[in-house]
Structure 1
Amino acid sequence: MMKKETLSQLKGLAAEIRTESIEAIRKVGSGHIGGSLSIVELLAVLYGKQMTYDPRNPEWEDRDRLVLSKGHAGPAWYSALAAVGFFDKAWLGTLNEGGTRLPSHPDRTKTPGVDATTGSLGQGTSVAAGIATGLRMQNKDSYVYLIVGDGELNEGQCWEAFQYLAHFKLNHCILIIDENKKQLDGTTKEILNPFDLVEKMRAFGFATVKVKGDDLEAIDQAIEQCKAVNDQAVCIVLDSIKGQGVTFFEEMEANHSVKFNSPEVQEETDKALAELRTVKGRG
């Protein structure tokens, strides 16, 4: 079991990441709220407990790497990076502006802590497989965390990369599928039914576990379980909710990208932020 102090710290970090993500996107006027919020708890566990990194030295050779293949969730990643000190939190207010170092999709040449440029869906899977291969060839024990969206799995490139990971048993590349069950223009079942992702990944050769996407302890335990596997590729399926952590956004039908252009959205956002700041203070 996770220590109460650690759990409290992770809850506070998750609240901060969620708060900063919403505020940054609202300042722009619109953005990918749904898919950003569904990975908040995952990012809190990664940067609050599991990953090895040095925010003062983003290029440290022995760091763990994160590849956010679902690059439209960049606002959540930026908020996590700022929260742990990779850059000044004031940067978050420049999201997607001209000349910003925080573009709408991650760019490794612009943002400290970003190891892979992503956004063209599917491509991050191959990048992560390549990084993991390079680290193995260098006899490094560093981990690569690959975050993929369930809608992104429509791309055939994902499955080619997964087959490669499984064949070479690249267990230091921890694949995490964010199964929030929606994509740009509908549910994943409506657009292209993914069927049972756990069984599908197991059939591909992965040791696979499924956890609730908002359960910090379960996510942490799943990562530990993956790290204990030595002879297989590994996968975590996050049973998440698009817009996770804010009821208003969770229940919004078209929550892939939200526009802050109505009094209702502004009012509900203010309520959510007030609640989140209370949780953040406790953390």
Structure 2
Amino acid sequence: MTASPAKEGSNLSLEQRAWGIRRNALLMGEVQGQGYIGQALGAADLLAVSYFHAMDYRPDEPEWEGRDRFYLSIGHYAIALYAAMIEAGILPETEIATYGMDDSRMPMSGMAAYTPGMEITGGSLGHGLGIAVGAALGLKRKNSASFVYNMLSDGELGEGSTWEAVMSAVQWKLDNLIAVVDFNNQQADGPSTAALATGPGTEAAKWEAFGWHAQEVDGNDIPALVAAFDAARNLPEAKPRVIICNTKMCKGIPFLEEREITHFVRVEPDEWQKALALHDTNRPD
């Protein structure tokens, strides 16, 4: 396995970091011949902004007390978060080949006990924001300056436990909590907007009605993401913040973008190398 060209320099742009995250995810998907690659490709830009612009952490000390926490509520997005943590140097690139294997530190669904930098175990969806609320409250009581970032899915917006956590965050004035919603309009049983999520242009108003500071952005527009993350972190009001990121499944691989998109995007065995070759020719300058 060849090393990622994204590792060749230390002063990489956010676009180059997102490119590296996508490449890491494709390499892991090829190892198993499967994985939630559509979500990983779609979320790469918001993960790049999280890890290489917004968050404070030490790659070689993942349990550093002063770190910002990144809580992945969506356990099946683990491939995306591993790809970001490999790019960030929290996990070694050499472990890509172990993805999903027995005794790997990178199981197919995220588990905190296995993986350095994986703050919580994802599983039954709808619990991540509640855990993040508890962590943010605990940090405030310790007078910590750290932020808690919680990445959750649009499908989780249909879970009652999510909205209980939304109300609790307002009650406790958790201005150190930033929720990041990956809105790709897909969940296990079809489009999220065919279930309980109302879709682009309407979700922010719901969060605002509960008392949150809400922004909605194109989740594949890095300058827009940077502005939104900065605004969330620097907001002077004592209230929690949410960034709703409208992302495109399979972003960056046109032949995958163009096929019928479902919650689990099938990639044929001969298509992994095709996707990697196409991706490698489009490295940002």
Give the TM-score normalised by structure 1: 0.90
Q: How does 1:199-210 map to 2 (within 5 A)?
A: 199-210=205-216
In structure 2, relative to structure 1, the CA distance for the partners of 1:228 and 1:81 (3 Å cut) is same
2:22 paired with 1:18: yes
| Structure 2 partner of 1:3 | none
Q: Describe the SS at the equivalent of 1:192.
A: coil
For 2:98, give the aligned amino acid: T
Find the aligned partners of 1:177 and 1:276 in 2 and give their Cα distance: 25
Query: Deviations along 1:148-175, whole A, 9 cap, x unmatched?
Result: 1001222111111111112222121101
Find the aligned partners of 2:274 and 2:80 in 1 and give their Cα distance: 19
2:274 paired with 1:271: yes
| Structure 2 partner of 1:76 | 80
| Structure 1 partner of 2:161 | 157
| Structure 2 partner of 1:134 | 138
2:66 paired with 1:58: no
Q: Describe the SS at the equivalent of 2:13.
A: helix
Find the aligned partners of 1:45 and 1:7 in 2 and give their Cα distance: 14
Find the aligned partners of 1:228 and 1:9 in 2 and give their Cα distance: 22
Q: Describe the SS at the equivalent of 2:178.
A: strand
Moved more, 247-256 or 130-139: 247-256
2:212 paired with 1:242: no
Cα distance, 1:279 vs. partner? 3.9
Find the aligned partners of 1:25 and 1:102 in 2 and give their Cα distance: 12
Instruction: Give unpaired runs (5+ residues) of structure 1.
Output: 1-5
Find the aligned partners of 2:248 and 2:279 in 1 and give their Cα distance: 17
Determine if contact 2:155/2:197 at 8 Å carries over to the other structure: no
**Identity percentage over the alignment?**
34
Instruction: Give unpaired runs (5+ residues) of structure 2.
Output: 1-9
Find the aligned partners of 1:267 and 1:91 in 2 and give their Cα distance: 23
Cα distance, 1:36 vs. partner? 1.9
Q: Describe the SS at the equivalent of 1:11.
A: helix
Find the aligned partners of 2:262 and 2:138 in 1 and give their Cα distance: 37
In structure 2, relative to structure 1, the CA distance for the partners of 1:218 and 1:193 (3 Å cut) is closer
| Structure 1 partner of 2:150 | 146
Determine if contact 1:7/1:216 at 8 Å carries over to the other structure: no
Cα distance, 1:31 vs. partner? 1.4
Cα distance, 1:177 vs. partner? 0.9
2:131 paired with 1:124: no
Find the aligned partners of 1:120 and 1:31 in 2 and give their Cα distance: 18
2:85 paired with 1:85: no
| Structure 1 partner of 2:50 | 46
Find the aligned partners of 1:120 and 1:250 in 2 and give their Cα distance: 27
For 1:221, give the aligned amino acid: A
Query: Deviations along 1:84-105, whole A, 9 cap, x unmatched?
Result: 1112112122111111111111
Determine if contact 1:72/1:119 at 8 Å carries over to the other structure: yes
For 1:238, give the aligned amino acid: C
Cα distance, 1:185 vs. partner? 2.5
Q: 1:225 aligns with which of 207, 218, 231?
A: 231
**Total equivalences in the alignment:** 274
Determine if contact 2:197/2:203 at 8 Å carries over to the other structure: no
Q: Describe the SS at the equivalent of 1:183.
A: coil
Find the aligned partners of 1:104 and 1:183 in 2 and give their Cα distance: 18
Cα distance, 1:267 vs. partner? 4.8
Cα distance, 1:71 vs. partner? 1.5
Q: Describe the SS at the equivalent of 1:175.
A: strand
Cα distance, 1:47 vs. partner? 1.2
| Structure 1 partner of 2:34 | 30
Determine if contact 2:75/2:110 at 8 Å carries over to the other structure: yes
Find the aligned partners of 2:78 and 2:33 in 1 and give their Cα distance: 16
| Structure 1 partner of 2:218 | 212
| Structure 2 partner of 1:167 | 171
Q: Describe the SS at the equivalent of 1:244.
A: coil
2:198 paired with 1:191: no
Cα distance, 1:228 vs. partner? 2.0
Query: Deviations along 1:242-266, whole A, 9 cap, x unmatched?
Result: 2222223323324422344xxxx34
For 1:226, give the aligned amino acid: A
Find the aligned partners of 2:41 and 2:123 in 1 and give their Cα distance: 17
For 2:229, give the aligned amino acid: I
Moved more, 89-98 or 134-143: 89-98
Cα distance, 1:8 vs. partner? 5.8
